[in-house]
């Protein structure tokens, strides 16, 4: 056997052993779903400082963006990648759609920190805006810092009239926070990697018609069913 004939099988064996680019990407997105599930569970484990069940019961959508990086030196900004789920017919939660969150600010600031964000959408209108393209929180729908605790009323909006409520968790502390002016958009590349489809529209993911539910997504949906069951009609 010539050297070339010995080398070719070795190269083929090595290529089969190495993960493909698509599988590596998919594993990254899988990890993101797992972290989002963990963030939601950690927040809800302490009822006294968790998102009020009444707010979650009436939520039309929930976005979880773990590990948002905030950096600044005079001009600052935030960037993070997470997932969005919406409530479907019968109150069931959808498969996750991958999203990015970005914001900028100007002022005297320095340093960097990582923060988890949870955003609760009370109406379908805001979700539809995100699915259609880039969406700015507070620009088209009222956004407010979310109330915390089982029986606590919103201090910023006593009758919960805002369409969007946002929360942050940093260094173990959890509280409502305003994210007005932050932009949210669909992460098409991550959606394609996670669901192993070259081109897929967010509506096909949310409806469940165009994709199968990965195991990690199933765990996220079960966590949402536990902490955010649909309100009784």
72: confidence class by pLDDT, cuts 50, 70, 90: low
11: confidence class by pLDDT, cuts 50, 70, 90: very low
Collapsed DSSP state (helix, strand, coil) of residue 163: coil
Please tell me the predicted confidence (pLDDT) of residue 69.
Answer: 79
- Eight-class DSSP state of 129: H
Q: For the chain, what percent of residues have pLDDT higher than 70?
A: 77
- Residue 165 vs residue 158, higher pLDDT: 165
- Residue 125 vs residue 96, higher pLDDT: 96
Say if residue 10's pLDDT is above 50: no
pTM here?
0.81
């Amino acid at each position: 056997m010539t050297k070339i004939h010995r080398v070719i099988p070795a190269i083929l064996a090595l290529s089969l052993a190495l993960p493909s680019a698509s599988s590596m990407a998919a594993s990254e997105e899988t990890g993101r779903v797992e972290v989002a599930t963990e963030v939601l569970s950690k927040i809800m484990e302490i009822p006294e400082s968790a998102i009020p069940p009444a707010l979650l019961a009436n939520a039309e959508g929930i976005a979880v963006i773990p590990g948002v990086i905030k950096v600044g030196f005079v001009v600052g900004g935030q960037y993070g990648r997470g997932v969005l789920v919406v409530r479907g017919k019968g109150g069931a939660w959808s498969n996750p759609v991958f999203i990015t969150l970005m914001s900028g600010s100007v002022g005297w600031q320095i340093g960097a920190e990582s923060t988890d964000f949870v955003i609760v959408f009370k109406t379908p209108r805001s979700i539809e805006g995100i699915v259609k393209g880039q969406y700015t929180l507070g620009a088209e729908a009222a956004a407010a810092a979310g109330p915390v605790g089982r029986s606590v009323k919103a201090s910023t909006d006593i009758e919960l009239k805002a369409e969007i409520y946002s929360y942050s968790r940093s260094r173990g502390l959890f509280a409502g926070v305003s994210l007005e002016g932050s932009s949210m958009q669909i992460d098409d590349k991550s959606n394609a990697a996670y669901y192993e489809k070259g081109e897929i529209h967010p509506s096909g993911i949310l409806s469940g018609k165009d994709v199968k539910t990965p195991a990690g997504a199933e765990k996220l949906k079960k966590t949402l069913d536990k902490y955010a069951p649909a309100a009784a009609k």
